[in-house]
Amino acid sequence: MFKILFICHGNICRSVAAEMVLRQMARERGIGWVAADSAAATREELGNDIYPPMKKALREAGYSCEPHAARQTARADYSRYNLLVGMDTENLFDMKRIYGGDPDGKISLLRSWAGEPGQEIDDPWYTRDFRGALQQIEAGCAGLLDWAAAREGGVAAR
């Protein structure tokens, strides 16, 4: 199983949306060997469900929203996951602090998987553009699945 952990500030908007999007995209492509999970860089939203406007954007875009309780990432996650994918540079900073660095080169930004290195997923908590953030997440997840499928010798079809 190839395991991916998505990280954002509170694990109620961007990272959990990426988890739900990647899971559904993988199912639709018949890629059963990729697992997605999500967590927060902070403790602010521990135990909370998906933020209602993000849940609405996901449902309107055709994604199912599984039960969720925000959790904070921990140092042990670095060895549990094959990739750790942040939404913005502040997340990357927090992740490296929590994990004690990135000795295996597992940490990246989600938009880099969409061919946009260094670009962040806009934070809809501030922009209020949940659909726009979701579109950025979809592009990153599609690119990530293309890469994963090619890496495993599979065919990546969009």
Query: Which residues are tagged catalytic?
Result: 8, 14, 123
Q: How far apart are CA 154 and CA 136, in angstroms?
A: 24
Strands 107-109 and 34-40: unpaired
Strands annotated E in 9-122: 34-40, 83-86, 107-109
Contact 45, 117 (CB under 8 A): no
Q: At 42, which amino acid appears?
A: T
Q: How far apart are CA 98 and CA 121, in angstroms?
A: 21
